Amino acid sequence: MKPRISHREELRLRLSWSDFQTVLAISRHGSVARAFVPLGMTHSTLLRKLDLIESRLKTKVFNRGRPRYTLTAAGHEIERAAQAFEPLAIGAEMRASGADLRPSGEVRVSVSSIVIDHLLPAVLAQFRSSFPDVQIELVGSREHVNLRRREADIAIRIADTVPD
């Protein structure tokens, strides 16, 4: 059930989509030093923006450590909301601009050799016929990959149990 927000509460909501994107970018890049260029800002501008976001929320969004910034509990809430809204915002922008909505590009998939040999061939054939403009790069690996650091877009593993 969606929480109801009164008009008065709505006026108190202080974060813009740009603020959510800022938190998401810093989280994805791990620091302000690595996030300011993709956001098209200077380092000092991004630091001021983060300070303003935290001031509006009256709480810290990141634990500022070296070499990485880590999300606080409040930061995780902002990140989850931004991740949920991001595809909707991108889709709306693309539709509004008349962009081609067919999926295209490259997807890096990290898989174990068992998955490559036994499970993937049928799935890949069906996927390629449905989405011919998407190239799939398979990366065979037994090691865990860090999706947050974009070591792969998708990781497929077989396990008896799912780790926490």
DSSP character at residue 3: P
What does the pLDDT read at residue 63? Answer: 95
Sheet holding 134-140, edge to edge: 134-140, 105-111, 154-156
Domains of the chain: 7-97 (1.10.10.10), 105-156 (3.40.190.10)
What are the residue ranges of helices labelled H in 58-145? 73-97, 113-114, 120-130
What does the pLDDT read at residue 11? Answer: 46
- Hunting for tokens 């070499």 — which residue is that? 67
pLDDT, tens only, 69-109: 999 999 999 999 999 999 999 888 888 887 766 788 999 98
Is-contact 62 75, C-beta < 8 A? yes
* Cβ-based neighbour number of residue 115 at 10 Å: 17
pLDDT, tens only, 110-142: 888 777 777 788 788 888 888 899 999 888 877
Q: Quote the pTM value.
A: 0.56
Mean pLDDT value across residues 16-43 = 94
Backbone angles phi, psi at 118, to 5 degrees: -110, -35
